[in-house]
Amino acid sequence: MTQNQDDILLSTVIFTDGAASGNPGPGGWGAVIRSPEGHIHEMGGPAQDTTNNRMELTGAIKALAHLRLNPPGPIFLLTDSTYVIRGITQWIWGWRKRGWKTASGTAVTNKDLWQKLYILTHDSGLNVTWRYVPGHAGFPGNERCDRIAVAHSKGRRVGYFRGPEAEYSIDLTLLPPEAPLPEMKKRKAKAKAHSYLSVVGGEVMRHDSWSSCESRVKGQSGAKFKKAANAADELTILQTWGISPDKLPPQ
């Protein structure tokens, strides 16, 4: 169902964002909540040794948790994180069915936060509609959350506004048009290795596969190994190890 801007502004509107310096590294999250009556509530916080995705999730969790004790009716949560939106509206059903495993059988990354977000959006009485807002595209609510999150990630002090919209310098009524999520980026296929080099006891060998290389160096004290992208890369690796190319057996 498509909602126009007037309908959305009659609901509670939340903007959230997250940031990490280093990814992983110091991080921060930010949220701005606008009530239908025009009351503004800014929030944010720091975290150490975290990731951008964890901070994006945390921003949404903290904002929704703030509203949990007194559910306000319909909520529109706007985020520039397609990871968060796809996760909570699409991927989470398969994760839960498989016992919080991905389709490939690995553990779901950020499981603890996804579980918290699921409870807030499905077991707490909150009525949340997720909406994508392009990041750094001039939408004031998103830009403000980004500034809060980045400031916290850099250890800077943040002043929050909490009061009537008439005294707020940011226009939260400027909302992005409803649009499909951007298509997911396809993962680039890993380039096939030209070879794998290993050194054990001063003797260098070339391997066609990682398994062969691994079996030679595993448990060997002082062993060295590295993947080579091409013939020139082989020579560079040998030079780094201080080994003459003449010691490398011919292919």
- Give the active site residues: 17-18, 56, 80, 136, 146
Strand order of the sheet with strand 195-200? 203-207, 195-200, 224-228
**85 contacts 128 by C-beta, under 8 angstroms:** no
Query: What's the rounded Cα separation, in Å, for the pair 75 and 32?
Result: 13
| SS percent in the chain: helix, strand, coil, step 5 | 35, 25, 40
End-to-end CA distance of the chain: 63
Packing angle of the helix pair 111-122, 52-68 (nearest 10 deg): 30
Query: What's the rounded Cα separation, in Å, for the pair 46 and 20?
Result: 9
**H or E stretch at 129:** strand 127-132
- Write out the two tokens for 243: 């080994």
Residue 138: closest CA among 98, 93, 106, 176: 176
204 in helix, strand or coil? strand
